[in-house]
A and B are shown apart, each in its own frame.
Chain A
Amino acid sequence: QLHLQESGPGLLKPSETLSLTCTVSGGSIISTSHFWGWARQLPGKGLEWITTVFHSGSTYYNPSLKSRLSVSVDTAKNQFSVNLTSVTAADTALYHCVTHGREAYNGGYRPAYFDLWGQGILVTVSS
């Protein structure tokens, strides 16, 4: 059974870069059945999708965060990672890695709803 586990720093200072890694167990990250993504829950607010990647390198970014984001896959370690630059207090959140279900689109597939979530890692940005 697929399992996702987030890792990374819990505390950063403003202007630093947040780097989070999700380790996939119980399945392969080069599976064609899944897209791999990140979402976050902002304090007192709702959920926000951040980014998604396919093992082939196709990437999808939240437009509001795109200028600060990069996402990648490490097939050797069965992991995927996200970097968010120039963090501020507004980036304080519980960050989850997720898998997307997929749906047929234009002869291929596109990421759909989130069919599995990691437990999440709390990241605080504070000076």
Chain B
Amino acid sequence: DIQMTQSPSTLPAAVGDRVTITCRASRRIGVYLAWYQHKPGKAPEVLISEASTLATGVPSRFSGSGSGTDFTLTISSLQPDDFATYYCQQYEDYSYTFGQGTRLEI
């Protein structure tokens, strides 16, 4: 299986901050990477697919970049609604493995 290593596990931040979360794959996955947002009691939602393609309805303050093994999710100016847990996921092979998650907290 492809292992996904996400960091940091917890990220203290404030409204208006620019934050970056990183995700590293154990082998090259091209751009087969997605990012999800998960809030307690709600279904996770896809933010980004193909490493940098914003899902429909996702605000433009979210952006993704990277290819191969190293990827980043950036939120340009944190809003109160953005405090959640974020996961990366590879879909290059049929294990669909996730990173451990990054909890964005105030």
Contacts and interface: CB of A to CB of B under 8 A. Distances in A.
Contacts of B46: 113-116
Contact of A112 (B36, B49, B95, B101): B49
A113 B98 contact: no
Interface stretch (B11-19, B37-45, B70-78): B37-45
Interface string A95-127: 010000100000000011111111110000000
A62 interface: yes
Interface of B: 1, 32, 34, 36, 42-46, 49, 55, 87, 89, 91, 94-101
A62 B97 CA distance: 10
21 contacts: A45-B100, A46-B98, A46-B100, A46-B101, A47-B87, A49-B95, A60-B94, A63-B1, A96-B44, A111-B91, A112-B32, A113-B34, A113-B89, A114-B36, A114-B89, A114-B96, A115-B46, A116-B46, A118-B43, A119-B42, A119-B43
Point out which of A114, A116, A118, A119 has the most chain B C-beta atoms below 10 A from its C-beta: A114
A48 interface: yes
Contacts of A60: 94
Nearest to B56: A115
